[in-house]
Amino acid sequence: MPKDTFPEHYRPMLATIGKQPFNNKDWLHEVKWDGYRLMAYVEKNNIQLRTRKNNVYTNRFQVLAHELKKWKHTAVLDGEVVVIDEHGISHFNSLENWYSPNDGILKYYVFDILYLDGKSLLTLPLIERKSLLKKNFPKSEIICHNDYFDGMQGIDLYEKANQFKLEGIISKKKDSEYFPGARTNEWLKIKITQLAEVFIVGFTKRTPESTSFRNLIVAIKDGKQLRYIGLIGTGFTERVYKELTGKLKVVIKCPLQKEIDPNRATRFRKATADIVVWVKPDMKCFVQYSEITNDGVLRHPSYKGLVQ
């Protein structure tokens, strides 16, 4: 790809977390897909696909690169690559395990265009960039235009996303410019979360001398047994740390039906060397989470208080 085609590899502009859905005529709303943020650099037969961290994924998603070669424009696109089920719902775990069309239905939902045929579009208002994107969009079953909804439909879209168990919605100001790599309050991600009651079966701490825990080890009932469902490491205040530390009753034997190693690496966290302490499973807490992965553990768990 010629060096003077694109001034740089653009880092994606990032959204700030929003508290709740809203209606506002100066904004628009989109479905928040659960996949990889992917920047596509398109120039004739030379395609580059780069992740949010600027890793090149062109070989990983050759089927997308092949489709983009059919486009008759030089462009930089911003979107989300996902794997969807038969109902059109994206699943992050399915994408993690996708390496060929046999592994699921791959889609690239494009929601922004930053460069088109020699011209940077970064300073254009979002609504104008979207108009150019739609006008010049390629015909493809794999490369999909990510439709948006009017600003007064934000609450309705959120409720529909919740009904279909989507990850959430993204709300964006219509006149927002694009600042590569920046996090902006003019884009808001409003996530849909779920709440569950789980048993506290243990905790981890950094050293034997630590007086407080790092993560709670939690489980759910599986028949008469307890099955591990993950670690909770966020949502605690100093008061909560003190309250829980004083109530947890340490035991020697693991109370789970199958003993696990909470320190092991997963797709979402690195391996640790924490001290594991088991406790009597006579306390339950509320946990907020986004989904349960194919491995049977909570994704994005956050502590929300004891079940009284």
∠ CA 224-246-261 to the nearest 5 degrees? 50
Residue in 273, 203, 268 with CA at minimum distance from that of residue 236: 203
173 in active site: no
Structure tokens at 278: 């088991």
Contact 91, 107 (CB under 8 A): no
Residue 219's DSSP bridge partners are: 199, 228
Which of left, alpha, beta for 301 (phi over 0: left; psi -120 to 50: alpha)? beta
Structure tokens at 33: 């897909």
Please give the C-alpha separations between residue 261 and each of 256, 258, 279, 297, in angstroms, as whole numbers.
11, 10, 15, 13
Decide: helix, strand or coil at residue 94: helix
Give me the residue label for tokens 């919740």.
162
Residue in 219, 188, 214, 220 with CA at minimum distance from that of residue 272: 214
Residue 284's DSSP bridge partners are: 199
- Alpha carbons 115 and 180: distance in angstroms, whole number: 12
3, 19, 32, 107: which is the annotated catalytic residue? 32
Which of left, alpha, beta for 54 (phi over 0: left; psi -120 to 50: alpha)? left
What are the residues whose beta carbons fall under 8 Å from the beta carbon of 196, sequence distance 6 or more? 220, 286, 287, 289, 298
Please give the C-alpha separations between residue 204 and each of 83, 142, 167, 177, 233, in angstroms, as whole numbers.
34, 44, 29, 44, 10
Residue type, 124: L
Give the catalytic positions in this structure: 32
